[in-house]
Structure 1
Amino acid sequence: MKVLSLLMQNNSWSLSHEAMSYWMSEVEARMVQRRHHLKQVCAKLDLDVYGNDSLHRPNPWEFLVNRPHHLVWCNVFKAASTSWMYNFNILAGYNPKFLRNSKLVPLNLARRRYPRPSLHALQQALNDSVAFLIVRHPLERLLSAYRDKIQFSLPHTLHQKLGNEIILKYRKNKQKVKGSRNKSTPKKPRWPTFSEFVQYLVNVQQKGDPFDMHWAPITHFCTPCQVDFDIIMKFETLQEDQNYLIHQAGLQDIIRPEWKNPAKGCTTTELVTSYYSQLTRAQILQLYHIYRYDFELFGYTLDGYLQLGMTESNSAGSPAT
């Protein structure tokens, strides 16, 4: 499988019929297992029963429906969403050169060609389309959203404004970053620390307020227990999974997978260690509670995360929790 994945990563499609059949069968088995796991857990948690709350009825808001190519995608932010928004814009007829040079937000471009579907339109499309979504470890996805939208937020944006509000509410000793007279006092950054951001998330959860879509639990908007997804791709196996989808949908001559927004500098493991070691174990467990359904439905665990957190006895000198 590693050799086949490397060939596909280099956009080499010249595999023998036997090799391609073997690869397709391997990935198909993976998809069957993921669908089976999802169905079992949905039933165990009673999330497959239709109801009036947001978890028990289909939510078409974030879906993109491409009728000519019979594709239905629930866009999960921070889970290869930039790459697949580009692909869907290509499928919508946008010129690649235009997309590369355009200053317009890719999602806004996409919505010009893919208006948000009604529930009826989504259900009609699901009857003759390949429906898919891309998932990612909830805590890795959350960290990606924090870094992109909060720590490195663009000036004069809603996310920068949110960051300032988080600092005002959750930061103690709000000394200015520049010009501090007390040389011994550690300077705090101009953006919310990861711990302050997590305090904000926990507070949002406790109040029952809606989450920003960049870090909202997938279960809240893709409603995977109410929509039959044919393909569940994972960020961790994205290269193989997306090539499988492209073959299944017959799009080999249209889409050549490209990796948009690749990680720069530190590896994912290094980033996870650096940021989650800033939290207490209690905070990490609070995050698990927020994303519990995403963990269970898609087969993720806290392995490797909980032990990174500080114990209460070691967090006395950390930011307030």
Structure 2
Amino acid sequence: MGRKNLTVMRLGRCIAFLAAAAFLLPFTILLMVADQQYHLTYNTKRVFYQESDFYKINGTYYASPYAVTTPTLPRTQYLFENGSQHEGLLTRDKFMEVNARMVARREFLRSECARLGLDGSGHKAYAWEYLINRQYHVIWCNIFKAASTSWMYNFNLMANYTAAFLDKTRVVLLELARKKYARPTVEMIKKAQADSITFLIVRHPLERLASAYNDKIVHAWPKSFHDKMGQRIIKKYRKLLSGDEPAPKERYPVFEEFVAYVLDEWKAKRMLDMHWTPYSRFCTPCKFNFDVILKFETLDEDQRFLIQLARLQDVVKPEWRNSGKGTNTLHNMNHLYSRLTRKQLDGLYNLYKNDFLLFNYTVHNYYDVVQEDTETKG
């Protein structure tokens, strides 16, 4: 009788085990599939180039644009102007020319980061101004006054806002974008970089500063944050800088007053406005790997290259949307900087030194237009 009961108990345990396995198996499979999909989405590096896709010119290897793939798209022949239904795309030769330019910029940035020691553990990475689009596998560090309006518009399109809505809304584009793109952490960026194109757009630091001054100070909306800032600048610096000379009549700070304010804020180690903060500080480009470095001076070709590389031609167009007021022609730039002293220009160079060095900009021509130092101008 005992042996029979033991057999029945063993049989019952087997049935219970099989029943549990039958119940849990679908969930186990589901978890395995979900885990696989997670790693596919987040940990599969976008394959830009493979060894077989390189060809050699004068001893230098270049990557063919036909090699661009993504984790979700099969290898397909790239679209170029010839025979393409998309307007404004680069020809194959032009694409390769810009690609070589991007390779040179990446290598220059890496070498300068190492030379200046900015890629070491003693320097903190900042993720505050980054936007990550997981659908199109693109990461952008937003530098204000460097085509930021254009690409904020594009990132809103990529977040499925319609062009019709974006063209008529009065909501600030950055505010709309942050509803779709949460501010990421450093870890989030580094994880997303595994299968994404990371890019930023840079501009000559002193041109960017002049653009910010023109847009945010000269043409500040009445009673806005920057209008109130301008009144504080006038109150503190107008009499100080003019000395015995007639004070300026402008209702906004003139350029030398604005520069004096910026330099004093920097020297006091107070946080600068995002429109003229050095972009090497809030993008910390030595702490992340950038695939594409666009420059304001070659923006038209550079952004066409990026659009093709990221396969965004059906979503965004290489348009230049500038919300700023006025222009920054060479004449206007020379006029503004002719108001400064060499000491002020020295101060600006020191403020933006890493921006100059990391992205291969020079300040030399500006010394030809500034004034000689005087006791009244600081």
Task: Tell me whether 1:82 sits opposite 2:149 in the alignment.
Answer: yes
Deviates more, 1:264-273 or 1:189-198: 264-273
Query: Matched residues in 2 for 1:250 and 1:164: separation?
Result: 46
**Equivalent pair of 2:248/2:254 in contact (CA under 8 Å):** no
1:202 to 263, 270, 284: 263
Deviates more, 1:64-73 or 1:260-269: 260-269
Task: Tell me whether 1:118 sits opposite 2:185 in the alignment.
Answer: yes
Query: Matched residues in 2 for 1:116 and 1:156: separation?
Result: 29
Query: Matched residues in 2 for 1:138 and 1:174: separation?
Result: 24
Q: Which residue in the other structure is 1:223 paired with?
A: 284
Query: Matched residues in 1 for 2:207 and 2:341: separation?
Result: 17
Task: Tell me whether 1:172 sits opposite 2:239 in the alignment.
Answer: yes
Q: Flag the 1:121–1:188 CA change in 2: closer, same or farther, 3 A.
A: same
Task: Tell me whether 1:23 sits opposite 2:94 in the alignment.
Answer: yes
May I ask how many residue pairs the two structures share in their alignment?
293
Q: Which residue in the other structure is 1:178 paired with?
A: none
Deviation at 1:210, TM superposition (A): 1.2
Deviation at 1:205, TM superposition (A): 1.4
Q: Flag the 1:229–1:107 CA change in 2: closer, same or farther, 3 A.
A: same
What is the one-letter code of the residue matched to 1:240?
E
Q: Which residue in the other structure is 1:301 paired with?
A: 362
1:94-243 to structure 2, matched below 5 A, reads: 94-172=161-239, 185=246, 187-243=248-304
Query: Matched residues in 1 for 2:146 and 2:265: separation?
Result: 22
**Equivalent pair of 2:131/2:141 in contact (CA under 8 Å):** yes
| TM-score relative to the length of structure 2 | 0.74
**Equivalent pair of 1:78/1:141 in contact (CA under 8 Å):** yes
Q: Which residue in the other structure is 1:281 paired with?
A: 342
Q: Which residue in the other structure is 1:269 paired with?
A: 330
Per chain length, whose mean CA-contact separation is higher, i.e. which structure has more relative contact order (CA < 8 Å, sep 6+)? 1
Query: Matched residues in 1 for 2:350 and 2:241: separation?
Result: 29
Deviation at 1:293, TM superposition (A): 0.2
Deviation at 1:79, TM superposition (A): 0.2
What is the one-letter code of the residue matched to 1:254?
V
Q: Which residue in the other structure is 2:38 paired with?
A: none
**Equivalent pair of 1:50/1:226 in contact (CA under 8 Å):** no
**Equivalent pair of 2:149/2:321 in contact (CA under 8 Å):** yes
Deviation at 1:211, TM superposition (A): 0.9
Q: Flag the 1:214–1:173 CA change in 2: closer, same or farther, 3 A.
A: closer
**Equivalent pair of 1:172/1:320 in contact (CA under 8 Å):** no
Query: Matched residues in 1 for 2:328 and 2:125: separation?
Result: 36
What is the one-letter code of the residue matched to 1:271?
N
Deviates more, 1:288-297 or 1:278-287: 278-287
Task: Tell me whether 1:91 sits opposite 2:195 in the alignment.
Answer: no
Deviation at 1:188, TM superposition (A): 2.1
Query: Matched residues in 2 for 1:304 and 1:72: separation?
Result: 34
Task: Tell me whether 1:44 sits opposite 2:115 in the alignment.
Answer: yes
Deviation at 1:303, TM superposition (A): 2.9
**Equivalent pair of 1:58/1:223 in contact (CA under 8 Å):** yes
Q: Which residue in the other structure is 2:73 paired with?
A: none
In the alignment, structure 2 segments of 5+ residues that lack a partner are: 1-78, 85-89
Query: Matched residues in 2 for 1:300 and 1:43: separation?
Result: 18
In the alignment, structure 1 segments of 5+ residues that lack a partner are: 1-11, 176-183
Query: Matched residues in 1 for 2:166 and 2:342: separation?
Result: 43
1:32 to 103, 109, 116: 103
Query: Matched residues in 2 for 1:168 and 1:263: separation?
Result: 26
Q: Secondary structure at the match of 2:293?
A: strand
Task: Tell me whether 1:244 sits opposite 2:305 in the alignment.
Answer: yes
Query: Matched residues in 1 for 2:121 and 2:91: separation?
Result: 40
| TM-score relative to the length of structure 1 | 0.86
- Give RMSD over aligned pairs: 2.2
Larger radius of gyration: 2
